[in-house]
């Protein structure tokens, strides 16, 4: 966003994560010294925390034009042994959290009209196909719900000048897909992809820039699958 003309960026995350990311955020701000880059501790499952995040963002930047909802968690638990707590936590962060952030952003956007306002949600290829080989029913359901949420909000909020779309990434080489014991799965995901590899984080950049830019002002209610062709198999 900064490389393509964003006038300011506010990064939300849990306080513990922001503390561990402070050096990276500071480096980003130093790279763009003429632009306000800062962070706010926000729990996306808490509507009061989200509302405060919007208020603080607007207070500092003057407006909120584009919201990108990236917060998410994943858990590989067999459905037959999953606890109700595990189910609720995944859905609460991935689906309810996205709704609360979108709702809070939309309230500000609707009250302060502008020619180009957008909200981008993060779904997944898990919304379109069952994952293999890992069991993760709660995650899959939470992401399928995001695709439905995107369509519903796009229909409701277009008249308010707010576009709502979603991105469905394939297996990306991020912290969610890293760690001990995952190498066999990573090899499986790559072998089942026509391109033979996982996606790099930067390979989602283009879609994000498109959806926030003038080039995307007639894109509404769309879901962009960015997966190297994984779901064609």
* Residues with catalytic roles: 124, 139, 143
In angstroms, rounded to a whole number, what is the distance separating the alpha carbons of residues 225 and 68?
16
Write the secondary structure of the chain as one string of H (helix), E (strand) and C (coil).
Answer: CHHHCCCEEEEEECHHHHHHCHHHHHHHHHHCCCCEEEEEECCCCCHHHHHHHHHHHHHHHCCCCEEEECCCCCCCCCHHHCCHHHHHHHHHHHHHHHHHHHHHHHHHHHHCCCCCEEEEEECCHHHCCCCCCCCCHHHHHHHHHHHHHHHHHHHHHHHHCEEEEEEEECCECCHHHCCCCCHHHHHHHHHCCCCCCCECHHHHHHHHHHHHCHHHCCCCCCEEEECCCHHHC
Closest CA to 111 of 69, 66, 160: 160
């Amino acid at each position: 966003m900064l490389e393509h003309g964003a006038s300011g960026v506010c990064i939300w995350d849990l306080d513990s994560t922001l503390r561990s990311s402070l050096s990276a955020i500071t480096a980003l701000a130093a790279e763009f010294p003429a632009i306000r880059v800062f962070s706010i501790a926000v729990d996306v499952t808490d509507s009061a925390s989200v509302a405060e995040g919007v208020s603080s963002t607007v207070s500092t930047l003057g407006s909120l034009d584009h919201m990108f909802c990236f917060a998410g968690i994943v858990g590989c638990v067999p459905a037959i042994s999953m606890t109700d707590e595990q189910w609720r936590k995944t859905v609460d962060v991935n689906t309810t959290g996205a709704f609360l952030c979108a709702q809070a952003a939309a309230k500000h956007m609707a009250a302060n009209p502008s020619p180009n306002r957008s909200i981008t949600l993060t779904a997944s290829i898990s919304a379109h196909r069952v994952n293999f080989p890992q069991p993760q029913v709660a995650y899959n359901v939470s992401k399928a719900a995001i695709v439905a949420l995107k369509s519903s909000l796009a229909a409701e909020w277009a008249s308010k000048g707010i576009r709502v779309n979603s991105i469905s990434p394939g297996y990306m080489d991020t912290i969610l897909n890293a760690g001990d014991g995952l190498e066999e799965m990573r090899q499986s995901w790559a072998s089942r992809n026509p391109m033979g590899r996982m996606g790099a984080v930067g390979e989602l950049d283009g879609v994000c820039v498109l959806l926030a830019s003038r080039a995307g002002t007639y894109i509404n209610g769309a879901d962009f699958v960015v997966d190297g062709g994984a779901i064609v198999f």
